[in-house]
């Protein structure tokens, strides 16, 4: 069938779906505030840890910052129209904490909240479901100055901030994500130092992980106290699909150790109300975990209305070799400090030569495995793929961007989602990362994940061929046959 849309001036031929997804399945895309908004000094916003980090020489490639990013703060109406043109039925955005509560304490700045009120109203006017993420890594710098996530008080400040946003948007936003990828916040921000705030202390990373968990629990309690009963509250994790290089005992133990640090440090208290004993033993030389106070795990163990899962590539691990060769291949940036406290001798491997521009191996089987694993771990809890996508070296040729590699990637991974659904996983939606090319954290503007190309000099938006393809899938509600 042929449909006319407003993506440029082209006519899009929507594929005939041969693999249909369930009725009501959400076809979305996602972004993060610091990566797209810009306007970092407008309307009362104060610096976040990412403002400070990106302005610190040597921390971000080419000295790039999010000061302007892709200027979404001023172009949001056009961006929402673009989402509508792409046939999106949902959009996951994040709220910038220092735009709403500049010091991380006290009353909200209404000008900051108004930006998100207007954004949500525009989404709803175009039939797009807003999904609000409260924390996508932009901690107010004043809270970091007071100790950041390794300090218990930050969890309470987060709950207070969640209440402010919930009160402002709760009448129009039904789905809420408390935290995005708390693993990255804790272990890249405080362990390896490749993310803001750039600290390199394994014990602090473990404290941060606990206080992020606690913040989720407290924020969930706060939101449930003020939101309508129809509200749905969960969080987005980036679990690692950990596979041993071989069946050797050392490799199987490496798998167990990384699984504890990447996954069970969160799913333990979230799903069972306790941290795993092997994690405590593996990290005993760094901390006695006395920062976990009585009642904490009960607070963390709140009922979840859904779980969001972010997936890009699996981790292939082995026990330590006699001599480490080259950089750590865990896909989390170069650092002399490990994001794996207590298990920094574990080796990571690439066994697949098909890689994205990030150097991440392409393996859609990991996504179906992940969805089935969480179906078993959290029976009855709906799942969403809240991030999945790929960076490639996109270029503009004759005013267009053709990215067949990304189309193949998306087709394979959406096929993996469908496979998981067919095998019993209750997956309710898929959010492509990302809507727009943007500031890609420590990689600056060198990596392009967007379905829409952004010329950073002019801020022109050019939907890539993958965007046109995804629009056809969304409208058809299913996947075409593979080319």
The catalytic site residues sit at 181, 387
Q: CA-CA distance, 178 to 234, in Å (whole number)?
A: 6
Q: Is the CB of residue 369 less than 8 Å from the CB of residue 415? A: no
* DSSP state string for 198-213: ----HHHHHHHHHHHH
Residue entry with tokens 């400070």: 52
Q: Is the CB of residue 206 less than 8 Å from the CB of residue 290? A: no
Report the run of H or E that residue 419 belongs to, with start and end: helix 404-422
Q: Is the CB of residue 48 less than 8 Å from the CB of residue 139? A: yes
Alpha helices in 146-190 (DSSP H): 153-169, 182-183
Q: CA-CA distance, 4 to 11, in Å (whole number)?
A: 5
Maximum distance among all alpha carbons in the chain? 63
CA within 13 Å, CB half, 236: 31
CA within 13 Å, CB half, 168: 26
Report the run of H or E that residue 461 belongs to, with start and end: strand 461-463
Which of 211, 164, 156, 217 minimizes the C-alpha distance to 189?
Answer: 211
Q: Is the CB of residue 269 less than 8 Å from the CB of residue 295? A: no
Residue 217 vs residues 186, 221, 470: alpha-carbon distances, Å? 16, 6, 35
Q: At what angle do helices 153-169 and 110-125 cross, to 10 degrees?
A: 50
For residue 233 the two structure tokens come to 């509250």
Q: CA-CA distance, 233 to 442, in Å (whole number)?
A: 30
């Amino acid at each position: 069938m042929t449909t006319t849309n407003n993506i440029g001036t082209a006519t899009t031929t929507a594929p005939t779906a041969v693999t249909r997804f369930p009725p009501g399945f959400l076809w979305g895309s996602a972004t993060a505030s610091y990566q797209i908004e810009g306007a970092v000094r407008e309307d009362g916003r104060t610096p976040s840890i990412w403002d400070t980090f990106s302005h610190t020489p040597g921390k971000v490639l080419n000295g790039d910052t999010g000061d302007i990013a892709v200027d979404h703060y001023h172009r949001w109406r056009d961006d929402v129209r673009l989402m509508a043109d792409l046939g999106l039925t949902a959009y996951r955005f994040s709220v910038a904490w220092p735009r709403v509560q500049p010091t991380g304490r006290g009353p909200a700045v209404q000008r900051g909240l108004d930006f998100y009120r207007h954004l949500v109203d525009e989404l709803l006017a175009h039939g797009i479901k807003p999904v609000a993420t409260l924390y996508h890594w932009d901690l107010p710098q004043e809270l970091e100055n007071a100790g950041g996530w390794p300090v218990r008080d930050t969890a309470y400040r987060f709950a207070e901030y969640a209440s402010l946003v919930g009160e402002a948007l709760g009448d129009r936003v039904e789905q809420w994500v408390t935290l995005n990828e708390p693993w990255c916040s804790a272990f890249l921000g405080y362990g390896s130092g490749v993310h803001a705030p750039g600290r390199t202390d394994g014990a602090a990373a473990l404290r941060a992980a606990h206080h992020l968990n606690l913040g989720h629990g407290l924020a969930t309690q706060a939101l449930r106290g003020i939101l309508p009963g129809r509200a749905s509250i969960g969080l987005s994790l980036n679990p690692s699909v950990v596979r041993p290089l071989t069946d050797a005992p050392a490799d199987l133990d490496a798998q167990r150790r990384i699984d504890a640090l990447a996954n069970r440090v969160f799913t333990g208290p979230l799903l069972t109300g306790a941290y795993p004993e092997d994690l405590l033993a593996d990290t005993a030389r760094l901390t006695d975990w006395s920062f976990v106070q009585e009642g904490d795990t009960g607070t963390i163990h709140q009922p979840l209305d859904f779980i969001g899962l972010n997936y890009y590539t699996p981790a292939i691990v082995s026990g330590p070799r006699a001599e480490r060769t080259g950089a750590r291949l865990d896909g989390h940036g170069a650092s002399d400090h490990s994001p794996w406290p207590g298990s920094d001798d574990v080796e990571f491997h690439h066994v697949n030569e098909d890689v994205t521009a990030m150097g991440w191996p392409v393996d859609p089987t990991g996504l179906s495995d992940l969805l089935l694993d969480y179906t078993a771990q959290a029976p009855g809890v709906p799942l969403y793929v809240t991030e999945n996508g790929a960076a490639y070296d996109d270029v503009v040729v004759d005013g267009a961007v053709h990215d067949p590699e990304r189309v193949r990637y998306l087709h394979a991974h959406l096929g993996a989602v469908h496979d998981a659904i067919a095998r019993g996983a209750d997956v309710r939606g898929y959010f492509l990362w990302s809507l727009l090319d943007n500031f890609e954290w420590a990689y600056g503007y060198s990596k392009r994940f967007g379905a829409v190309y952004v010329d950073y000099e002019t801020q022109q938006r050019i939907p890539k061929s993958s965007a046109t393809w995804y629009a056809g899938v969304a409208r058809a509600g299913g996947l075409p046959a593979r080319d």
